[in-house]
Structure 1
């Protein structure tokens, strides 16, 4: 299959049982240390939300959420399976009366039916969604980079834990993460596609944070699409690492300082989606009911896939795959759960 990468002579060092034990080890260690590093408490989260609330993540704006209808109070209500909890978390910060410097995180389980399945993409998405209340003067690139370094420290600690646990474990991550903007990437690789730019720079540095995603570059297009109503396009970015097993870049996290009222209105105008101001979430934000905050999502299965040096996300996540992909993986020693 054209969208499936088969590493040469691939063979996982862990069988199915050992893989399951390692997955639990990684997830337990990472989330405990992330919560300590960022001062987060764990909360419960919904699988679906009311369509009219505006709480669902619109992603790039073209994806269609899985939805169903229910009867409530004598009326038919449209509910949507979440894409992510980017907006819901900000409302939760307010509901829980979270103070500045504190935050929350949750296990986010979503369905993205528009995904094209490959080594790193699945219809089923599992990630740690986190959100932290900040002060207005922390709406800066300096604070964003500080939080990125904090998260990267937890990644390094996780890798060290695995190195001490498994005799034959090979470290992959560099000691530091490198920061670069989408505009700087465009200057460096003007003739390369957006994906090629990420791949070239990630391979050179090992771990990178690409910031300022969503706003148009000199070429007239954004590096990649971002919903206009949660991240501030000037204060966001992706944590991307180099995956030597697939010889490719791997995004582990998308995050950023969230829009304030001014940034929200500006980005809705730029994206021609001002109709969203009629939703509950957007009204609350404009009316100052939500705290300033920073947040993001960290892929659980992607993290496990990377640290366990697996060739396919299906080796650490139980999901549904095309039959042709299952057969090709089996023929090449890739055991999907």
Structure 2
């Protein structure tokens, strides 16, 4: 069910046309920073994949992909949820070397997404993936990569505020606080996961919440994560404190990807052993694919954060229910 809440004191400081220009500035600046920081090359990416390959991202293993049959081949295609697995295969197929990687513009349809200030059925993100240097499949390398991405975001924010000084100056902090989901449970045992995040991130405005997907000591999960791309011990979400909405605000999900041992363990835990028959999974289990790190960085999410917007519909064109449109109209929020 949709839920849109616009803060009473909120008003957009940029017009629609100014917002569109600012979005383009953010995209150009951030991707240039990211390319240099992580040694990435932009590549073309698919909008849909054959269902039989197992390459589509299953997210929390409950979302339904948008699918259609291809008249010429008779096969089923699925609109991507993300490119988490495709990117790893592409690094192998394109003969990338350790320490280098790729990025691409990913567009997706998530038909089962609940609609609110932060979510829509349209997803746009920068998907990136890189081959891990020899001997660096470890948490320290994950944290180094997180810091590089945070620095890219902060550099972009600083340049944006030079160009648009009228935007409220609530720049993201470069100081990243690292916390595991188990530590969050122990800090806030009576609170649900999302509330734990908000309580923590309010005190630590740039945070990387680690180890998402496995069960906690309580027997519950902090959040769902597909078993066949991230290593649940070496992943996390990059979250900032959003001053406009007064909440924790996820910008990126990322992590070191499963090796053969992690995939074997996680497929068993998730009850997904049938996936072992997919070509992608076989190539991970037999060591054909390289060891990689990667993630997705929300384009609309980052624009929304840096432009101090209250609703994601102010920075992306999507479809909205009548309740959302009415709430935004009442608050004077113009949806693209």
Q: Tell me the TM-score normalised to structure 2 length.
A: 0.98
2:289 counterpart of 1:286:
no
Gaps of 5+ in 2: none
Aligned length: 335
Contact between 1:260 and 1:292, CA under 8 Å: does it hold in 2?
yes
Contact between 1:159 and 1:171, CA under 8 Å: does it hold in 2?
no
Residue 63 of structure 1, CA deviation: 0.6
Residue 324 of structure 1, CA deviation: 2.0
Considering only aligned residues, what root-mean-square deviation do their CA atoms show, in Å?
A: 1.1
Contact between 1:236 and 1:257, CA under 8 Å: does it hold in 2?
yes
Contact between 1:136 and 1:292, CA under 8 Å: does it hold in 2?
no
Alpha-carbon distance in 2 for matches of 1:53, 1:83: 14
Structure 2 residue aligned with 1:54: 54
Residue 118 of structure 1, CA deviation: 0.6
Contact between 2:85 and 2:229, CA under 8 Å: does it hold in 1?
yes
Contact between 2:101 and 2:130, CA under 8 Å: does it hold in 1?
yes
Gaps of 5+ in 1: none
Alpha-carbon distance in 1 for matches of 2:148, 2:183: 23
Structure 2 residue aligned with 1:230: 229
Alpha-carbon distance in 2 for matches of 1:181, 1:263: 18
Structure 2 residue aligned with 1:83: 81
SS of corresponding position for 2:75: strand
What does residue range 192-271 of structure 1 map to in structure 2 within 5 Å?
192-271=191-270
Structure 1 residue aligned with 2:65: 65
Q: Could you give the per-residue CA deviations for residues 136-182 of structure 1, whole angstroms, max 9, x where no partner exists?
A: 52111100000000000001101111121122231331231111111
Residue 110 of structure 1, CA deviation: 0.3
Residue 218 of structure 1, CA deviation: 1.2
SS of corresponding position for 1:202: helix
SS of corresponding position for 2:334: coil
Structure 2 residue aligned with 1:324: 323
Structure 1 residue aligned with 2:38: 38
Match for residue 113 of structure 1 among 111, 114, 117: 111
Contact between 1:177 and 1:208, CA under 8 Å: does it hold in 2?
yes
Q: Tell me the TM-score normalised to structure 1 length.
A: 0.97
Structure 2 residue aligned with 1:154: 152
SS of corresponding position for 1:237: strand
Structure 1 residue aligned with 2:19: 19
SS of corresponding position for 2:71: strand
Residue 5 of structure 1, CA deviation: 1.5
Alpha-carbon distance in 2 for matches of 1:126, 1:175: 24
Structure 1 stretch displaced more, 126-135 or 161-170: 161-170
Structure 1 stretch displaced more, 313-322 or 133-142: 133-142
Residue 11 of structure 1, CA deviation: 0.6
Alpha-carbon distance in 1 for matches of 2:164, 2:334: 21
Contact between 2:5 and 2:327, CA under 8 Å: does it hold in 1?
no
Alpha-carbon distance in 2 for matches of 1:174, 1:230: 29
Q: Could you give the per-residue CA deviations for residues 166-217 of structure 1, whole angstroms, max 9, x where no partner exists?
A: 2223133123111111111111111111000000011111110000111111
Alpha-carbon distance in 2 for matches of 1:167, 1:247: 22
SS of corresponding position for 1:318: coil
Q: Which 4+ stretches in 1 moved above 3 angstroms?
A: none
Alpha-carbon distance in 2 for matches of 1:175, 1:56: 33
Alpha-carbon distance in 1 for matches of 2:68, 2:287: 32
